[in-house]
Amino acid sequence: MLSVKQKIIWLWQNAEKILIILFFLTFTLNVRKVFLTSFSFLNGGFNEYMALSISWADALIIGAIFIYTIKSLFGQQKNPEVAISYLNNKIKNKSSVIRNYYGNIVSHETFWVLLFLGWAGLSVFWSQSRPIAAYRFLVLTEILLFALISIKSLKSTKWLKASFFALVINGLAQSLLGIAQFVKNGSVGLRILGESILGPNIDGVAKVVIESEKYIRAYGTFPHPNILAGFLAIPLFLLIAEIATRRSNVSRETLLDFIPKQLLWILGIAIALGFVLTFSRSAFLGLFAGMTLFFCFLLPSRKLVSKHLVIPIIFAIVVAIAAFIFPLQKYSSFFSSQSMEERRLYQIVSYETISADPIRGIGIGQFVLNEYKKHPTLESWQYQPAHNIYLLVFSELGIVGFVLFSLFLIFIIFKILTNTTVIIPYYGFITLTYIVLRCIIISFLVISFFDHYFWDIKSGTIIFALPFIFLFSIQLKEIDEN
């Protein structure tokens, strides 16, 4: 038994890790304090993109950053070290390995992200609404700092397992809430946890029409079903990878190996159902792209999945998609062109914005305000950002910001598509977890062509950062262990 003093010491030593795990478990709760600006109400309706807020997730992030900073100032954080003795024995070209280590984990991606963040910060000075621009810049900075701290803090099997499990439980809770909302066709009364007021006849609530009846789409505690779908894609991918691992001949030691097989299937089915009930076409397309890439990665390796197993899995996926889509095409609004027409409007505004200021853009977080000034007669709920992150970044940060953002993505995509093994010097074996995290990133990049929440909704930006956090945490873990 540990004494009280030992428990206190342990809690302090692991305080930021505990906050990070709690964050993965609860960041989806929309508990927040909203601060209005002079543009928060456009044509009589509240606009999410023109307001400031501080949330439960912010409190956890700031707490983790604060504790980590205090420890760093007092020298209580240990920096990861390259195992020189191991390298001397196993690797001839030590300098090349160290250069590859820092190149893969720090130099390229972090360099372009920091330049991009710096340009976003400069754009505050030429933005029409500086409070909104400064807020958006601070959100990006906060999430980047949290991501870097999480990468260093979770580089152990124990904490990675805890974070993966917390994320799966979070996904299960959000999925069950979304299922309950769809069945009830309205809110279930969890306003205290941030649930939106939902109903089939409320303007602005996302709905799907099935056999002439309006049904709300699953929201969870997110501000829109598409964001819930983007989040649920992460635990869904992780569970599929775990199931694939247990059907193969590779080692059973994975980050979710402690979950019983029956529970694994229950979790997968529940989260998949919640994902489907979001009726998010962009997320469905992203999932399909990611799963296709996932099985393409697995095909060359007989150790992971045999060809006899892959063929029926792919066939089952195709049949399931066909069985789901064709009935909806006839009897529902799932394939309605209304959302496409709305997206076309936002694209027109984006083209107008880019042509007016193509070099530096209008400033981070300014798209909706610019849209309101160009088209002041729209309904309040129609004032939304362009449903394409690449156009949105170009509009707000100009060609400079777009190029910096593109360079970051190019390095990520190049690594994902040209390396089928883990990108770790002197430790090059395939892991399904690592592969599936790459596929999640590709899935998100596909979604980014059709939606905007990864850029301008705080919870969406956090979701976008999650696979990167886990990806680099696993890299650091493997390097430290060897």
The predicted pLDDT at position 91 comes to 40
* Domain map (residue ranges) of the chain: 94-481
Q: How far apart are alpha carbons 208 and 118 in whole angstroms?
A: 41
Residues with Cβ within 8 Å of 77's Cβ and at least 6 positions away in sequence, in order, are 68, 71, 152
The predicted pLDDT at position 306 comes to 46
The predicted pLDDT at position 62 comes to 95
Q: How far apart are alpha carbons 166 and 153 in whole angstroms?
A: 16
The predicted pLDDT at position 154 comes to 86
Q: Which of 405, 281, 273, 409 lies closest to 336, judged by CA?
A: 281
18 burial via Cβ count (<10 Å: 0-12, 13-18, 19+): middle
Q: Judge whether 168 and 235 are in contact, CB under 8 Å.
A: yes
pLDDT in tens, the chain (482 residues): 667 777 788 788 888 999 999 999 999 999 999 998 888 888 888 888 899 999 999 999 999 999 999 888 876 554 433 333 433 444 444 444 334 443 444 457 778 888 999 999 999 999 999 999 999 999 999 999 999 999 888 878 888 889 999 999 999 999 999 999 999 999 998 888 888 888 888 877 888 887 778 889 999 999 999 999 999 999 988 888 777 766 555 445 567 777 887 888 889 889 989 998 998 888 888 888 888 887 777 655 544 444 444 544 554 455 445 445 544 544 444 444 555 666 777 888 888 888 888 899 999 999 999 888 888 888 887 888 888 999 999 999 999 999 999 988 888 777 666 654 443 333 334 466 777 888 899 899 999 998 899 998 999 999 999 999 988 888 777 766 66
Half-sphere exposure of 140 (CA within 13 A, CB side): 21
**149 three-class SS:** helix
Q: At CA 75, angle to CA 72 and CA 79, rounded to 5?
A: 75
Strand 51-55 and strand 45-46: the pairing is: unpaired
Q: How far apart are alpha carbons 354 and 267 in whole angstroms?
A: 45
The predicted pLDDT at position 307 comes to 45
